[in-house]
């Protein structure tokens, strides 16, 4: 009984509810002086929402800023990828291709993100190498498990799909896993709970890079009233 009590206390500390740790102001935007490349890493069973949300937001930057973000889809091979919901995708690149430098690495959730994908050495190695070269790495939903397996999240604050918070904390005890937030930003990594909240993380990164006005305009195009101050998130560092 004592052991169970200690486990519950530990879970409450590491996975307790969190509140927005900033006031909505993120400081001056980065304002990149070149077009950035966002690569979405997909495998069979990737979920539509976690794939489409960042693609929607990042691709729309080209209509609102002089540089913007070029979005590509990267998969283990050039073979057709079938999403969990049945959408068929033709990747732009395979892991073996000579890719342009990746500035924003995006890891959406997939059906096997908590199981078989963690044993996919090609996937884990690609994510590990490319994340360390990228300016930002973003995971959606259970994509956080892939980042953790790749060693990207060691010692970091993060989040994942609400029902899988405890599983992530248990499997990777070095992580500070947060619940009841939309996303967590720690150093160069942004992790999101996924689903429709995937738009929050993507718009947040746009605001960091291009400023609030650009993020708000993109939100309006997607019928989203973007206001960072109203989003419950956890941010440890820019």
pLDDT in tens, the chain (238 residues): 434 333 333 344 344 444 455 545 677 888 899 999 999 999 999 999 999 999 999 999 999 998 899 999 999 999 999 999 999 999 999 999 999 999 999 999 999 999 999 999 999 999 999 999 999 999 999 999 999 999 999 999 999 999 999 999 999 999 999 999 999 999 999 999 999 999 999 999 999 999 999 999 999 999 999 999 999 999 985 4
pLDDT at 25: 60
CA dist., res. 166 & res. 229, Å (int) = 27
What residues does each domain of the chain span? 30-235
Which DSSP helix (H) or strand (E) runs through 137?
strand 136-140
Q: Is the model's pTM score more than 0.85?
A: yes
CA dist., res. 73 & res. 81, Å (int) = 10
Q: Residue 31 in contact with residue 209, Cβ under 8 Å?
A: yes
Residue carrying the six token digits 């890719």? 99
Q: What is the total residue count of the chain?
A: 238
Q: Residue 107 in contact with residue 145, Cβ under 8 Å?
A: no
pLDDT at 12: 40
pLDDT at 155: 93
Rounded to the nearest 10 degrees, the angle between the axes of helix 212-221 and helix 198-210 is 140
18 CB-contact burial (10 Å; exposed 0-12 / middle 13-18 / buried 19+): middle
Rounded to the nearest 10 degrees, the angle between the axes of helix 48-59 and helix 198-210 is 20
pLDDT at 67: 87
For domain 30-235, give the CATH number. 3.40.50.880
CA dist., res. 197 & res. 206, Å (int) = 15
pLDDT at 103: 98
pLDDT at 21: 57
């Amino acid at each position: 009984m004592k052991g169970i009590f200690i486990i519950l206390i530990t879970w409450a500390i590491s996975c307790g509810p969190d509140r927005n740790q900033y006031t909505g102001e993120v400081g001056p935007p980065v304002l990149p002086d070149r077009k950035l490349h966002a690569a979405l890493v997909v495998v069979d069973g990737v979920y539509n929402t976690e794939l489409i949300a960042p693609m929607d937001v990042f691709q729309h930057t080209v209509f609102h800023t002089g540089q913007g973000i070029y979005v590509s889809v990267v998969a283990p091979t050039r073979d057709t990828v079938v999403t969990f919901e049945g959408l068929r995708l033709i990747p732009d690149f395979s892991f073996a291709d000579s890719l342009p430098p990746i500035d924003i690495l995006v890891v959406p959730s997939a059906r096997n993100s908590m199981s078989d994908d963690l044993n996919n050495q090609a996937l884990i190695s690609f994510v590990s190498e490319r994340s360390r070269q990228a300016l930002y790495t973003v995971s959606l939903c259970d994509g956080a498990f892939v980042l953790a397996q790749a060693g990207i999240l060691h010692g970091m604050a993060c989040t994942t799909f609400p029902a899988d918070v405890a599983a992530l904390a248990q499997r990777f005890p070095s992580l500070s896993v947060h619940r009841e937030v939309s996303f967590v930003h720690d150093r160069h990594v942004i992790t999101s709970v996924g689903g429709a909240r995937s738009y929050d993380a993507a718009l947040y990164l746009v605001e960091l890079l291009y400023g609030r006005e650009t993020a708000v305009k993109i939100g309006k195009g997607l019928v989203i009233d973007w206001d960072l101050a109203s989003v419950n998130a956890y941010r440890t560092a820019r």
